[in-house]
Amino acid sequence: MEKLTIVIPAYNEEEVLASSLQRLLKIEDGLIEQQLFDRQSDILVVDDGSTDRTWAIINAENHSGQRVKGIKFSRNFGHQNALIAGMQQAINTADVVITIDADLQDDPNAIPTMVEKFAAGADIVYGVRNNRATDTWFKRNTALLFYKTLKVLGVQLVQNHADFRLMSRRAIQTFLKYPERNMFIRGVIPMLGFKTDCVYYQRTPRLAGESKYPLKKMLAFAWDGLTSLSIAPVRAILFLGIFASCLGIAALIYSVATKWLGLTVHGWSSLMISIWILGGFQMISLGILGEYVGKMMTEVKRRPRFTIESTIGA
Ligand code: UDP
Ligand code: MG
């Protein structure tokens, strides 16, 4: 029989982790009882350098039932790296992996449906939220803008899907072959191919604790996603440059013509405008180029994505 591992990234989740684990264990028990999965099925929590009692909770859960296992990072390496580490570890023994956030904002009751779709032949089953009612106006609209922008740039993303997903062993094995350090997981998964399916659910507010994605981190995440998935911004510079040059040529013809016709000598306004606009374009361009050079630098360094300090049960 196949083995299921539920992977949970957790960063300072002492307020929700214990109850989340209980709920997930119950759901997993249900699947085991229906003989859909092996009794060895488990939950793997990746402690992303928490400074609170998260690791102690994982240990306590492991001692009480053994089904909860844990990996502890030596510091905070970020949500995406925690997910990668969890998948990498889980795939050593599991046939199916489900990733879900520790706060269970993504409805764990969707898991049995995910499993059904997997049994029906899907290698990847995306959890997709069917509304964003629990988000603020700002988050809803910035998220929409983000998806729209990426779509225009030709990047395939499953809209309203975060990292709540089921993957088969072979899908994960394929995913783990992508070596990039700037990994935006949900942008890479659609590149894998395989048969995919979706499960829709309502996303609920966080039960306790605070979001580990404050605005600054969210914007950085979106920008990372955009620049790691698409080189469109660099191309845009080229078009911006062409556009600015055309304007410059038009201005040149105009000023030469007015000079020949003996009309006025133009003042500093046109000069100022062109200096500032061109200066601005150039700086933006340099900034965008710099972003990609920076990304290359982090890729070239090949630094480890994470460091595991200790494990329990895993
Ligand atoms: N998380 C993590 N490392 C981080 C930030 C977040 O492992 O540096 C985990 C966090 O514990 C949670 C998940 O990623 O399980 C999503 O975070 P959160 O729920 O705070 O994000 P939001 O739902 O507000 O977007
Ligand atoms: Mg959350």
> What is the CB < 6 Å shell around ligand 1?
9-11, 13, 48, 76, 78-79, 82, 101-103, 105, 211-213
As a 3-state breakdown, the chain gives helix, strand, coil percent values, each rounded to 5, of 50, 15, 35
CA of 211 to the centre of ligand 2 (A): 6
Among 94, 16, 64, residue whose Cα is nearest residue 314:
94
Instruction: Give the integer Cα–Cα distance in Å for 203 and 300.
Output: 38
4-230+308-312 CATH choice from 3.90.550.10, 1.20.1250.20, 1.10.3720.10, 1.10.150.120: 3.90.550.10
Instruction: Give the integer Cα–Cα distance in Å for 166 and 79.
Output: 17
- From the alpha carbon of 82, which atom of ligand 1 is closest? 7
Structure token pair of residue 273: 């405008």
Domain residue ranges in the chain: 4-230+308-312, 232-301
Would the ipTM clear 0.90, i.e. be above it? yes
- From the alpha carbon of 49, which atom of ligand 1 is closest? 3
Distances (CA, A) of 234 to 79, 278, 284, 289: 27, 17, 10, 7
Structure token pair of residue 158: 């499953």
Q: Specify the 3-state DSSP secondary structure of 183.
A: coil
Instruction: Give the integer Cα–Cα distance in Å for 291 and 194.
Output: 32
CB 91 within 8 A of CB 172: yes
* pLDDT, one tens digit for every residue, the chain (314 residues): 899 999 999 999 999 999 999 999 999 999 999 999 999 999 999 999 999 999 999 999 999 988 999 999 999 999 999 999 999 999 999 999 999 999 999 999 999 999 999 999 999 999 999 877 777 888 888 888 888 888 888 888 898 898 999 999 999 999 999 998 888 999 999 999 999 999 999 888 887 888 888 888 888 888 888 888 777 777 777 778 778 777 877 877 887 787 778 776 666 667 767 777 777 778 778 878 887 887 888 788 888 999 999 999 98
Ligand 1: which residue has its CA nearest to atom 7? 79
Among 222, 172, 169, residue whose Cα is nearest residue 192:
172
- From the alpha carbon of 78, which atom of ligand 1 is closest? 8
